[in-house]
Copies of this chain bind each other. A is one copy, B any other.
Amino acid sequence: MKNDPAENQESIKAIPEPTLRRLPIYYQLLKSRLNAGSSEISCTTIADALHLTAIQVRKDLEITEASGKPKVGYNIKELIAAIENFLGWNSKSEAFLVGAGNLGSALIGYQGFKEYGLMIIAAFDNNPAKINTSVYGKRIFDIKKLSDMVRRMKVSIGILTVPAQYAQESANLMTEAGIRAIWNFSPTKIICRPDIVVQHENLACSLAVLSKKISEVAARRIS
């Protein structure tokens, strides 16, 4: 029911999310190897460097439709291009940020997103003290202007960095304005229409994993 075969006429085989999450890790390694002067790399080499299995690396790369040669491996440049193409990182996408606070400012100033084609072009806030100021050369606008500007500039990605209690209302505002994808950094789950893409970046979730691993390791050390 979830993956209705009728829905995907042209063999859009559902992409495993774990695979998707590993692609940027390969991507980063490939770029650093390319900088180091290599031109080819095998699954075995990638797997060894990242402490994964060669089989998994091969299966992951398969979905990008990159193709390698036996005894040699993949051409690094080609593989980088294949990943970029697969993830849509070879085309620029513009984003608005809502909540120009502590974390929001760090994200605005971060140059690393460019590498993945993501450009934060402006920020919005409801704090009069912040409105019409700039952070790292990016203007902070009144949140009331969001709707107009989304429509006018056709921005489809929103980065949400407001306090948890305002996250849902801000998300609603964004989607009503025409934002189609939200990257949410607040520690609360936001619920949006099914046609809206929502990616939750909840640090508390990671911390839970970290905390539990720590207590497990501690328990193992005692026994």
Contact = CB atoms under 8 A, between A and B. Distances in A.
Per DSSP, chain A at the interface is helix
A203 interface: yes
A191 B51 CA distance: 8
Interface in A106-157: 106, 109-110, 112-113, 116-118, 156-157
Contacts of A181: 210, 213-214, 217
A204 interface: yes
Interface string A201-220: 11111111111111111011
A212 B191 CA distance: 20
Interface string A179-208: 011010001110100010101011111111
A214 B180 contact: yes
Contacts of A105: 102, 106
A204 B24 contact: yes
Nearest to A102: B106
